[in-house]
């Protein structure tokens, strides 16, 4: 009996000892994990954290903070942890190594009130429905075949832009004219018809105003998104502005879709994206349960198709034809137009570079016709000009936010679950550790023999990622590059450019106006003088 008692006691003691040892090991691991520091950053204020420190140009403020605290900075916006990556290596760690963990967007009022409660392509949660949306747009708009099928649209609208600039002697807002051109090119592919007549009319001006207002509102760090207790107050008026803007978009796009339904077949006999989406309503796209329905079409094209609503079609897992329109028209027009405007402004400031670009295009195209899509591959200097514009003036200076689905360790720091990630694309492209004379506009850096000859903009070279990188890289990247190259080449080739009287190129205002996209604070106004043979501009030329 005593021996049995001693055996039992020994067993209990051994078990207790093992339990203590295991607990100590687990606790030690937990402590070592907790000891991994958060990224450095400035101390925030009570309640609002660092929100008030951002200023009017957050991308510049955050770049300055990275120079003080390093390429990975931790901030607090209200109750939300925010991590900002401001170097190529830090961006690669998140968007390549930990890309899967940062594939979703954080909650925000813009996605709720403008994007039909996260039903669009930009803000939809990562998963089957998002992949269906992306596949739909990729196949019908952005694949190599789609780009070739609709090259005539881009060329015709570029020619229309050139003709619209032929008015003698007048100074014009370059960004406005380019915006109309891009909107019509996209509309012909998406809904099968142009949406604006020649020139910048009332409707075109209103549309541009709505796009710019959306980008401005979307770029605001809304206090209500980060301090839930203040959301109902809407202290900055952001939510109220988004709701008003949403109603205006609804009316405009509803009209577009009604005209599409009433009119004859558009571009390519029903090959436009809206026709494809209507035919695809309710059908599985990728076999993963991501289906196209009138809710997602609304999210993409921005308006619910009234004919389907009347029939009471309300699928439970939608991808709607009018949300695609919102994404394409807002993201596609503004980013392209602003980049072309920045490119032309830089070329006007540097007449030597402008002349070199004109000489190259003349040698390939001549002066008896306009630039075609097929000419672009033979214009390496023009391509370098566009790359340098993407570098100095990325259309989206701060990447669209992502959220950490799980805690992880990056570059020796702990990133907590639920933290918001911002990648400072603007700062990365001006990093003096990477770029020689980073503030100078030097297209030669991308030419053969240049220090960055092999750097591309398609998401694999993290020192230059104007379209982002990883799973949520901009789906319209290929079209965006083609449009910017073609329109920049057309403006450079077809015209000589002069600033209004009294303005000198070296003193041209290049200040930035921050929003979701990076605009010129003072829009570029310039005088265009035709430099090609009269017949090059096409029908009814006044050259």
Comparing C-alpha atoms, which of 97, 41, 101, 37 is closest to residue 70?
Answer: 41
Q: Is 512 helix (H, G, I), strand (E, B) or coil?
A: strand
Is the CB of residue 201 less than 8 Å from the CB of residue 177?
A: no
Which contiguous run of DSSP H or E holds residue 519?
Answer: strand 519-520
Looking at residue 141, the DSSP 8-state letter turns out to be I
Q: What is the pLDDT of residue 279?
A: 65
pLDDT score of 315:
32
The answer for residues whose C-beta is within 8 angstroms of residue 439's C-beta and 6 or more apart is 392, 430
Structure tokens at 161: 């832009």
| Contact predicate 432/58, CB 8 Å | no
What pLDDT was estimated at residue 4? 43
**Residue 433 in 3-state DSSP?**
coil
What is the pLDDT at residue 237?
A: 79
Report the C-alpha gap between 162 and 94 in whole angstroms: 42
Q: Determine whether the annotation assigns residue 474 to a binding site.
A: yes
How would you label 263-284 residue by residue, b for 16+ Cβ within 10 Å and e otherwise?
A: eeebbeeebbbbbbbbebbeee
**Contact (CB, 8 A) for 294 and 304:** yes
Query: Which residue in this structure is represented by tokens 């957050």?
Result: 58
Low-confidence ranges of the chain (pLDDT < 50): 1-2, 4-9, 11-13, 15-17, 19-20, 28, 30-33, 268, 282, 284-288, 292, 294-295, 298, 302-324, 540-543
Write down the domain spans for the chain: 51-537
Q: For residues 253 and 322, what is the distance between their CA atoms, to the nearest angstrom?
A: 8
What per-residue confidence (pLDDT) applies to 135?
A: 83
How high is the pLDDT of residue 265?
52
Question: With contact defined as beta carbons under 8 Å apart, do 245 and 213 qualify?
Answer: yes
Residue 60's alpha-carbon distances to 66, 327, 398, 424, 436, in angstroms, are: 10, 26, 10, 9, 19
CA separation for the pair 87, 429 (Å, rounded): 9
What one-character-per-residue DSSP string does 48-112 give? TBTGGGS-S-HHHHHHHHHHHH-SEEEEEETTEEEEEE-SHHHHHIIIIITGGGG-BPPP-HHHH
Burial environment of residue 448 by CB neighbours within 10 A (0 to 12, 13 to 18, 19 or more): exposed
CB atoms within 10 A of CB 379: 23
Query: Whole-model pTM above 0.85?
Result: no
Cβ burial of 229 (10 Å; 0-12, 13-18, 19+) is exposed
357 contacts: CB under 8 Å, gap ≥ 6? 347, 381, 382, 385, 492
In angstroms, what CA-CA distances link 349 with 219, 354, 507? 28, 9, 8
Residue-level pLDDT at 374: 96
Residue the block writes with tokens 């925030």: 44
**216, 238 Cβ separation under 8 angstroms:** no
Lookup: tokens for 170:
């007048």
Instruction: Classify residue 286 as exposed, middle or buried by CB count within 10 Å of its CB (0-12, 13-18, 19+).
Output: middle
In 220-320, which ranges are continuous DSSP H helix?
223-226, 238-262, 273-280, 294-301, 306-310
What is the dotted CATH code of the domain comprising 51-537?
1.10.630.10
Which pLDDT belongs to residue 243? Answer: 83
């Amino acid at each position: 009996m005593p021996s049995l008692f001693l055996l039992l006691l020994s067993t209990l003691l051994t078990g207790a000892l093992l339990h203590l040892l295991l607990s100590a090991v687990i606790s030690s691991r937990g402590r070592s994990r907790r000891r991994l520091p958060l990224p450095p950053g400035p101390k925030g204020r009570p309640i609002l954290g660092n929100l008030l420190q951002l200023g009017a140009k957050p991308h510049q403020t955050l770049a300055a903070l990275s120079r003080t605290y390093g390429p990975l900075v931790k901030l607090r916006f209200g109750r939300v942890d925010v991590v900002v990556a401001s170097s190529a290596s830090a961006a690669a760690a998140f968007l390549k190594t930990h890309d899967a963990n940062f594939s979703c967007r954080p909650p925000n009022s813009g996605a709720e009130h403008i994007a039909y409660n996260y039903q669009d392509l930009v803000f939809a949660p990562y998963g089957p429905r998002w992949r269906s949306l992306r596949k739909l747009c990729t196949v019908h708009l952005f694949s190599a075949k789609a780009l070739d099928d609709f090259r005539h649209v881009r060329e015709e609208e570029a020619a229309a832009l050139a003709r619209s600039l032929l008015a003698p002697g007048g100074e014009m807002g370059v960004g406005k004219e380019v915006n109309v051109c891009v909107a019509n090119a996209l509309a012909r592919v998406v809904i099968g018809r142009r949406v604006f007549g020649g020139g910048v009319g009332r409707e075109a001006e209103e549309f541009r105003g709505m796009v710019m207002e959306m980008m401005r509102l979307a770029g605001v760090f809304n206090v209500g998104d980060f301090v839930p207790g203040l959301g109902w107050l809407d202290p900055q008026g952001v939510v109220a502005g988004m709701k008003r803007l949403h109603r205006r978009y609804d009316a405009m796009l509803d009209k577009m879709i009604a005209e599409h339904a009433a009119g004859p077949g558009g571009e390519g006999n029903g090959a436009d994206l809206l026709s494809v989406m209507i035919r695809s309503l309710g059908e599985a796209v990728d076999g993963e349960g991501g289906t196209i329905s009138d809710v997602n079409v609304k999210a993409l094209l921005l308006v619910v198709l009234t004919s389907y609503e009347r029939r009471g079609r309300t699928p439970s897992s939608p991808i709607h034809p009018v949300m695609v329109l919102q994404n394409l028209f807002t993201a596609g027009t503004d980013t392209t137009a602003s980049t072309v405007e920045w490119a032309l402004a830089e070329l006007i400031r540097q007449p030597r570079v402008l002349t070199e670009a004109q000489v190259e295009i003349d040698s390939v195209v001549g002066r008896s016709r306009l630039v075609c899509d097929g000419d672009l591959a033979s214009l390496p200097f023009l391509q370098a000009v566009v790359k340098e514009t993407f570098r100095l003036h990325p259309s989206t200076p701060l990447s669209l936010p992502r959220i950490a689905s799980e805690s992880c360790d990056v570059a020796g720091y702990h990133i907590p679950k639920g933290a918001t990630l911002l990648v400072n694309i603007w700062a990365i492209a001006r990093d003096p550790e990477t770029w020689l004379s980073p503030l100078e506009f030097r297209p030669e850096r991308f030419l053969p023999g240049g220090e960055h000859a092999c750097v591309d903009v398609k998401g694999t070279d993290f020192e230059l990622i104007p379209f982002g990188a990883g799973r949520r890289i901009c789906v319209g990247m290929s079209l965006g590059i083609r449009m910017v190259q073609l329109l920049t080449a057309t403006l450079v080739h077809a015209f000589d450019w002069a600033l209004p009287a009294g303005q000198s190129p070296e003193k041209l205002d290049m200040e930035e106006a921050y929003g979701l996209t990076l605009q010129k604070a003072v829009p570029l106004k310039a005088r265009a003088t035709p430099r090609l043979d009269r017949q090059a501009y096409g029908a009814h030329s006044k050259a």
